[in-house]
Every structure is written in structure tokens, then in C-alpha cells.
Amino acid sequence: MLQQLDHLPTGFMMASARDLHRVLPAPSLIHLPGDEPRPLFVSILLHGNEDVGLRALQSVLASRGTRHLPRALSIFVGNVDAARAGVRRLDGQPDFNRIWSTAPPATPHEHMAAAVVEIMKQRAPFAALDLHNNSGRNPLYSCLPGTAPQHQRLARLFSPLALLIESQPSLGSAFAPICPSISCECGEIGSAQGVFRAAALIDKCLRAAPSLFEDGEGDGEGGPLEIYQAFAVLKVAEALSLSCDGTEADVGLSPEIESLNFRDLPAGHPIASVRAALPVEPLQAFGLDGARIAGLFEQAGAQLLLAQPAIAAMLTRDLRAIRQDCLGYLMRRVPHPVC
């Protein structure tokens, strides 16, 4: 399933995400040489419609022209089939950011993911960046696989906001034991600012001194990192109808729901309107371990309200994303960041 290359294939620099399958017909790991041998690892298109990583890489590589890279670069190109269709993943495919389990691989996709990690481990990467877009309106932020200072230092190069996600089989967490590792949430698909900031981060990592992430290096650059931790993932009960545009449905989300992202919401804040006497709980909250969490919402008439203060993130009004993944997350501040 995985192909490896030691050069950029012809056509890579000009291809859109939808056309990339003509250049790379399968998930690919591309190793480009550079002056510093420890490579920067960049993962793009784990979600097929999120093209920020491709655009950012094209921009960085174009700006260097034919000059040698200051550091080796290994690029993992993920779900080219979904990219061709312009979707996060095809029906019947796994989510490419959930195949990076530390358990022994079982499926073909998990074997591919394990091979990528093993190959990169041999190359002792300098840092790992996994580039994503959001399906909702959010500020740019990183996802941290842990609070180790090296991950925080890498995150601070991208944004003052970070979300701690420790217990998912994501690419970011698979690389965390190997090198500084973050996932970058680069705003909505098509966001020019997202592409610009992702490209700036790649460029910074390519040019960085080998000691950048070591203790005492670069501390405090740009102020402290503000770290949040998601404690609940929100799902809409599958059996219920759902709308985001004010049309009649069992569960009605406000068209403005994305404006709640990264805001402090008090207890009692409305999250959705719901029909009376629904057969199941309309909005279900799960811990990141998958266990149900009860009592996060309370119903008041036709309104579903937050039962406790929380900060929302990644709330989206994209119905397909809600059905395939989730409505969004609730999070709390992590009180004592390490650095």
C-alpha cells in the first residue's frame, strides 16, 4: 500500500489535492535530502479534503527553487483516494488519523501506518508536523500529544493556542516518543492564512539549529503556550435528524455554532434546540477513552443547555463531518503548562 520515493515526482509541485492521484497513486513517503541529515517529517492529506499541507509544502519548496534544502525533509502523503474525491475519507475507508495505534497493527492501513513510523524512526526525525484543516471556524492551533517541553516548543512556533490530546491513536501521538510532534489545525479549507502559517512553520523547522528543541533553547519566544484539554467529544445520536440552517429537525444547531469555538461558555449556555420526547439522548458526550459521560447537558424546554462551564472547540456545522466524526469537543484549560 505504501510507496517510497527519494525525489519529488514530476507534477507534484503543480498538482491540486484532487489531481494528486495522477502523480502519486497511493499513500507515499517521499525523502528529500538536505544539509542537516535528521529530517523534518511532514504529513499531509491524512484527510483527503484538507489541502493546507500540500499547498504549504508547494509554497516552501517553490520558494527554495533549485537550492539545496537546509535540512532533509520526509513527506508522508496520506489519503490520495479521498483527496481525489474531495472528501475527508471515502465510505469504507478508515479515518487516516486513527490508524496509528501503538497496539500491534491488524488492518492493512494500520500496517502502513506502522511502517511509516518504523521507517521514520530509523531516520531519527528532527520534528514531526501533521497538517490539517478544520471543518469549522477556529483560530489556528496545535494539537499536542503530551506536555513534554519539546512538543510545547514546537507548538509555540505555530500558535499560542494548543489542545492537549493524549489518548488517541493519531499520527501526532505515534511520533511523540520519537521527536517533537504536533498536529497543526490550520483553519478552514482554503484559508490563505492557514497555508501561510503552515509554510512559515515548515520553513522555520527546515532552517532551525539542531538544538532548537533542547532545554534552554528558545524558551519564552512569543510568550507562554495556552494549553487546553478536551475532556469530551460530542456526537449527535445517529437515529435523529439534524439541521444547521434553521430547518425542522430532531436536533437543530445554531447556524452560528462555530462562533462558540475557543470561547468560555458558562453553565446554561444553549448548544442546540431539540424536539420534545426524542427516543434517545440527542447529544451524547464521550470521554476520549470512548466511555459515555453523563450530565454534561440539561434540557430546558426545547433547548439543550451546557450543565457546567466549558470551552468548546472544533464545533462544526458541516453535517457530513458531524456524522462521520463528531460535532466537536468540550475542553478545559490545563492549569500549569510545563514551559
Q: Taking CB under 5 A as the criterion, which residues in 136-175 touch Zn ion?
A: none
Task: Choose the stretch contacting Zn ion; rule: CB under 5 A; options: 78-86, 129-137, 162-170, 229-237.
Answer: 129-137
132 binds Zn ion (CB under 5 A): yes
Q: Nine-digit cell at 74? A: 520526509
Our separate counts of H helices and E strands in the chain read 8, 19
Q: Which C-beta is closer to Zn ion: that of 98 or that of 123? A: 98
Q: Which C-beta is closer to Zn ion: that of 50 or that of 188? A: 50
CB of 327 to Zn ion, least distance (A): 15
Q: Which C-beta is closer to Zn ion: that of 251 or that of 322? A: 322
Tell me the C-alpha distance between 45 and 191, whole Å.
15
CB of 280 to Zn ion, least distance (A): 28
CB of 94 to Zn ion, least distance (A): 13
CB of 131 to Zn ion, least distance (A): 9
- Planar angle of CA 203, 168, 235, nearest 5 degrees: 110
Task: Choose the stretch contacting Zn ion; rule: CB under 5 A; options: 61-69, 125-133, 163-171, 304-312.
Answer: 125-133
Q: Is 92 helix (H, G, I), strand (E, B) or coil?
A: coil
Task: List CB contacts of 19: < 8 A, sequence separation 6 or more.
Answer: 84
Q: Taking CB under 5 A as the criterion, which residues in 273-312 touch Zn ion?
A: none
Task: List CB contacts of 194: < 8 A, sequence separation 6 or more.
Answer: 52, 133, 140, 186, 187, 188
Report the b/e string of 17-35 with b at 16+ CB within 10 A: beebbebbeebbbbbbebe
CB of 185 to Zn ion, least distance (A): 8
Rg of the chain's alpha carbons, rounded to an integer? 20
- Planar angle of CA 300, 301, 303, nearest 5 degrees: 65
Q: State which of residues 31, 47, 89, 151 lies at the interface with Zn ion (CB under 5 A).
A: 47
Q: Taking CB under 5 A as the criterion, which residues in 48-77 touch Zn ion?
A: 50
Instruction: Compute how many residues bind Zn ion; rule: CB under 5 A.
Output: 3
- What x/- string results for residues 208 through 247 when contact with Zn ion is judged by CB under 5 A? ----------------------------------------
CB of 217 to Zn ion, least distance (A): 30
CB of 282 to Zn ion, least distance (A): 26
Q: Which C-beta is closer to Zn ion: that of 101 or that of 303? A: 101
Q: Is 157 helix (H, G, I), strand (E, B) or coil?
A: coil
For the residues of 95-143, what is the DSSP string, one character each? PTTS---SSPP-SHHHHHHHHHHHHHHHT--SEEEEEEEESS----EEE
Q: Which C-beta is closer to Zn ion: that of 31 or that of 88? A: 88
Residues written for the chain: 339
Contacting positions for Zn ion (CB under 5 A):
47, 50, 132
